[in-house]
Structure 1
Amino acid sequence: MKRFIGIVFKIIFSRTMVTLILLLIQLFWLLAGFRWLEEYSQVYLVVMVFISAALLIYIINKDEMPEFKLSWVIPICAAPVFGALLYLFIVGDWTNLGMKKRLNKRRKETQEYLHTDEKTRKRMEISNAHLANLSRYVEAEGGFPAYGGASVTYFPTGEEKFADLLKELKGAKEFIFLEYFIVERGRMWDSILEILKEKVKEGVEVRFMYDGMCSLLLLPYSYPKQLDACGIKTKMFSPIIPLLSTAQNNRDHRKILVIDGKTAYTGGVNMADEYINEVVRFGHWKDAAIKVEGDAVKSFTLMFLQMWNISEAATEDYSKYIRKNEKKAVRSSGFVIPYGDGPATPENVAETIYMDVINQATSYVHIMTPYFIVDNALLDVLQYAARRGVDVKLIVPHIPDKKAIFAISRTYYPDLLGAGVKVYEYEPGFVHAKVFVSDDEKAIVGTVNLDYRSLYHHFECGVYLYRNEAVADAETDFAETLKRCIEIDMMYYKKIPMPLKLMGRVLRLFGPLM
């Protein structure tokens, strides 16, 4: 009984609970204030109705996806005062302007290091003119170049990435950079942390940045100070504070680890035990990651430093961390394009790259994603690819981590199946991999989910592979994963309980805001 009381006491007075209560209090007073103004100030109400009407005209004529427009038209029409102010607060993004300005400044500082060399450019033009054009787009809009002959290793599970990562970390000589969305103490992180502490003692520079969402449930708010005391330079990106703020909507969803500027990892695997199936959450956890070696690591090094220096006043000496490819043997003669994306990027680079792969496919497109909440444009290209004879297969979880998101994802099944897209659910559990493979030539591995958060709100990263040997490894992994999946048909969809289907349909209206 005492233990139970202690747990309850701990939950009630935890930082997460305090943050939640303070946010709810602010929301209550905002709603109460709107209600009071509606009742006692006719002038204010008339003004707000006029503003709401003006906003509706602006939204309808805005160069934006219909889904985003609909998600705002409904609340503004249903509650003109609250809906209008909420739109101005969130879409205006006033609290994020400073962060975006600082990040763009850092991107300009690193621009001189991020150019596709002329030799690689000419090779691409000879090999595939469309690839050369795509590379030109990614470099112009995303800020990241293409590289020839990079060595890439594909890991079909978090366990395999973890084992390889431990060996590489132990060999670090100069610096280690880590940037992750989720970090939780356990076998995985504790093992890595022990190596990082030893490396600091050897004189290796270690920088570690993780997203502020971890401070809610996974790590204490003072964790950066604890690691700083061990010699590990640590930052929490966009800490969660008990204030209604749009800055807290743009999370750092990247997973990047760079060693000595020669080796880099990315993919879906975070620093927590479920990612290596050390603990069971939502059944078996299926993930994927890649290791990049050679000149292409430069993009990940600078991607990390751009984000790290958002909160810094001084300018980094980036040249200290740029390394030339010293590998004697290069595994691939293909091309690699690492890229970053996020709310500060003028174009939706990640979605454009996904759509480009689908549009260019002639034989097949195979996709693994944990969530599927997409706009009409992406849905249309998937359907069109299937209708013109491309083998389009989509693997999603069977055991979801977020039931509301899963309910929305399933509402797309009739549209996908009707067009000939083959949909599968991973029966043993949860798919967290973000992988595209097409035509035995192209693959994408990274952090970008097929949902609005990844495609429009979060900071993300990925690697586009063209005729790299790792493309075959990714396709082999897809084929092996498919053996453990349930194929979805309309009979299966019809058996889904009606309340769940109805919930998904209603929530889909607000998918762009979730």
Structure 2
Amino acid sequence: MFQRLVSYSEIFSGAFTLLSVVMAFYVISKADVPAYRMGWILLIMMFPLFGGLLYLLLGEKRPAKYMRIRLKKGMKSHDIMTVQKPEVMEELKKRSPRAAGLFSYVSNYAHYPVWNKTQVTYHPLGENQYADMLTELRKAKKFIFLEYFIIEQGEMWNTILDILREKVKQGVDVRVIYDDMGCLPKLPANYYRKLEKLGIKCLDFNPFIPIISFVMNNRDHKKIMIIDGVTGFTGGINLADEYINRKIRFGHWKDTGVMLKGDAVWNFTVMFLEIWNSYNSDDEDFTVFRPELTPENGFESDGFVQPFGDSPLDGETVSVNIYLDILSQAKNYVYIFTPYLAISDELNIALCAAAKRGVDVRMVLPGTPDKKIAFRLSRSYYLPLMEAGVRIYEYTPGFMHGKSYVCDDELAVVGTINMDYRSLYLHFECGVLMFETNEVMELKRDALKTFEVSHEVSISERKRGKIRQLWGGLIDSVLRVFAPLF
């Protein structure tokens, strides 16, 4: 009996080891982020018996097959609904061939057109966006669409919910999408049923199922509010009290967002309806939700505005490529807000190269972390960046949650995209690319004010103590190797 068990164990051991070898070669052959491949290869080598099995269970970055089928259904009308107006692109090319190249890339590969006739309002804090949200929600006459990673009961959400309840009574079509994993510790189970009882149509995106849900890589990290197809909001602000400093968790919460009014809001409407239609049986006509904006009731142009989505479905790393383009073509400065820093070699090289050629590259990260391991991982990138000339600040009053770039007084991005692997490669994200809008300068002014209240990290700080630096460096190296995996 014992000998039989031994022989079986040898068979299983050999089979799992062979599986690990096969998986290692498979990972090497994949056209994937090099850091992601290296992390898995090391993990398989360290645990040859179970490494291959771990990869089968946890290693697939692509959305599950059922999700891909659903989302493909919802996106079948995308190209028809998001046709680029040639006259807008031609005008942009005349103003700036350099900017036109970037906006053309987003239009051609993310399939979201660039617009004029759109007004932009920049929000340097969640409180500013919240105030405008309440004002605009109360004006709604036709529909309200909300799509958020986190919703939590409290002053912010309860106030918004009261308005939504009243709007339903007035006949307004109100719909809410929330990410189930993002809201898992925030909302009661099956919260969508409560909203549906109030007359609010609701979808919990990619529900978490214990035991069955081994991997929850592909989350809906977007934050979108659309009102009558005319007004849209996005940025880092979720619908929870810490985002408007009503609840203090990590000191003062610094965030960024934008409000759009005009033609460009259509991109957000399409973005929302694609997810909505993917999980509902009705094949809804998008054009019903497109407002008829005329010279009489429309908006004057404020530069060029391009809301865009970034999906793990298409294999196109839109956000990464936008950031790389900004860094590679910057002439004078690039100012960056991000709560996390866990980037690929290509972004690391682009940041260093920009600084080395004389561009003033500055980054602001949190002074008070929300996740200690993520904070340590972010800091592990500081030294090589600073040695190349990148200036790094930590937001002294508390937590920096903004996700934005501003460059050379003319180009900016504000959205939901963190500078980490999850946002850049795994999640469903969104942002707004802007050129020569008035609010580009508002974002710059906000960055300059933020530098003044933040602590600039020095090279000597990061090199303090040889033994500490040695052991800390080893820990940081391990974190950086495996960061893309988790």
Normalising by the smaller structure, the TM-score range is over 0.9
- Relative to structure 1, is the Cα distance of residues 93 and 283 closer, same or farther in structure 2, using a 3 angstrom cutoff? closer
CA contact (8 A) 1:387 1:419 kept: yes
Q: TM-score, normalised by structure 1?
A: 0.89
Matched, 1:287 2:259: no
CA contact (8 A) 2:119 2:260 kept: yes
Choose which of 252, 277, 286 in structure 2 pairs with 1:318: 286
Residues 14-413 of structure 1 aligned to structure 2 (within 5 Å):
40-92=8-60, 96-245=64-213, 248-326=216-294, 328=297, 330-413=299-382
In the TM superposition, residue 476 of structure 1 has moved relative to its aligned partner by 0.8
CA contact (8 A) 1:144 1:337 kept: yes
For each residue in 1:453-485, what CA deviation from the matched residue of structure 2 results, as whole angstroms up to 9, or x when unmatched? Answer: 100111100000011111011111111111111
Q: Alignment RMSD, CA only?
A: 2.0
Question: Which residue identity lines up with residue 260 of structure 1 in the other structure?
Answer: D
- SS of corresponding position for 1:108: coil
CA contact (8 A) 2:16 2:50 kept: no
Matched, 1:466 2:438: no
In the TM superposition, residue 125 of structure 1 has moved relative to its aligned partner by 2.0
Question: Within 1, Cα distance between the matches of 2:105 and 2:59?
Answer: 26
In the TM superposition, residue 331 of structure 1 has moved relative to its aligned partner by 4.8
Larger mean CA deviation between 162-171 and 238-247 belongs to 238-247
Question: Within 2, Cα distance between the matches of 1:132 and 1:232?
Answer: 40
CA contact (8 A) 1:368 1:431 kept: yes
CA contact (8 A) 1:37 1:44 kept: no
For each residue in 1:421-463, what CA deviation from the matched residue of structure 2 results, as whole angstroms up to 9, or x when unmatched? Answer: 0000001110000010000010000000000010011110000
Question: Within 2, Cα distance between the matches of 1:241 and 1:260?
Answer: 34
Matched, 1:503 2:475: yes
- Relative to structure 1, is the Cα distance of residues 247 and 295 closer, same or farther in structure 2, using a 3 angstrom cutoff? farther
> Gaps (5+ residues) in structure 1?
1-35
For each residue in 1:217-242, what CA deviation from the matched residue of structure 2 results, as whole angstroms up to 9, or x when unmatched? Answer: 11111211111111111111112211
> Gaps (5+ residues) in structure 2?
none
Larger mean CA deviation between 411-420 and 88-97 belongs to 88-97
- SS of corresponding position for 1:178: strand
CA contact (8 A) 2:110 2:310 kept: yes
More helix, by proportion: 1
- Relative to structure 1, is the Cα distance of residues 39 and 299 closer, same or farther in structure 2, using a 3 angstrom cutoff? farther
Aligned length: 479
Question: Within 1, Cα distance between the matches of 2:217 and 2:330?
Answer: 34
Question: Within 1, Cα distance between the matches of 2:429 and 2:298?
Answer: 30
Question: Within 1, Cα distance between the matches of 2:190 and 2:28?
Answer: 45
Question: Within 2, Cα distance between the matches of 1:77 and 1:37?
Answer: 26
Larger mean CA deviation between 199-208 and 140-149 belongs to 140-149
CA contact (8 A) 2:61 2:217 kept: no
Residues 413-432 of structure 1 aligned to structure 2 (within 5 Å):
413-432=382-401
Question: Within 2, Cα distance between the matches of 1:39 and 1:349?
Answer: 51
Larger mean CA deviation between 187-196 and 489-498 belongs to 489-498
Choose which of 478, 490, 496 in structure 1 pairs with 2:447: 478
Larger mean CA deviation between 46-55 and 105-114 belongs to 46-55
In the TM superposition, residue 138 of structure 1 has moved relative to its aligned partner by 1.5
- SS of corresponding position for 1:383: helix
Question: Within 2, Cα distance between the matches of 1:47 and 1:479?
Answer: 59
- SS of corresponding position for 1:216: coil
In the TM superposition, residue 505 of structure 1 has moved relative to its aligned partner by 2.8
CA contact (8 A) 1:371 1:451 kept: yes
CA contact (8 A) 2:343 2:419 kept: yes
For each residue in 1:176-230, what CA deviation from the matched residue of structure 2 results, as whole angstroms up to 9, or x when unmatched? Answer: 0000011111111111010000000111010011110245311111211111111
Question: Which residue identity lines up with residue 377 of structure 2 in the other structure?
Answer: I
Question: Within 2, Cα distance between the matches of 1:422 and 1:92?
Answer: 36
In the TM superposition, residue 281 of structure 1 has moved relative to its aligned partner by 1.0
Question: Within 1, Cα distance between the matches of 2:330 and 2:300?
Answer: 25
Question: Within 1, Cα distance between the matches of 2:302 and 2:63?
Answer: 45
Question: Within 1, Cα distance between the matches of 2:192 and 2:426?
Answer: 25
- SS of corresponding position for 1:182: coil
- Relative to structure 1, is the Cα distance of residues 96 and 61 closer, same or farther in structure 2, using a 3 angstrom cutoff? closer
Question: Which residue identity lines up with residue 223 of structure 1 in the other structure?
Answer: Y
In the TM superposition, residue 63 of structure 1 has moved relative to its aligned partner by 2.6
Q: TM-score, normalised by structure 2?
A: 0.94
In the TM superposition, residue 58 of structure 1 has moved relative to its aligned partner by 3.0
CA contact (8 A) 1:38 1:45 kept: no
- SS of corresponding position for 1:336: strand
What fraction of aligned residue pairs are identical, expressed as a percent? 43
Question: Within 2, Cα distance between the matches of 1:332 and 1:37?
Answer: 76
- Relative to structure 1, is the Cα distance of residues 368 and 331 closer, same or farther in structure 2, using a 3 angstrom cutoff? farther
Larger mean CA deviation between 278-287 and 214-223 belongs to 214-223
Question: Within 2, Cα distance between the matches of 1:223 and 1:491?
Answer: 50
Larger mean CA deviation between 141-150 and 349-358 belongs to 141-150
Residue number in structure 1 paired with 2:462: 493
Larger mean CA deviation between 290-299 and 236-245 belongs to 236-245
CA contact (8 A) 2:355 2:388 kept: yes
- SS of corresponding position for 1:80: coil
Residue number in structure 2 paired with 1:33: none
CA contact (8 A) 1:215 1:239 kept: no
Question: Within 2, Cα distance between the matches of 1:141 and 1:46?
Answer: 45
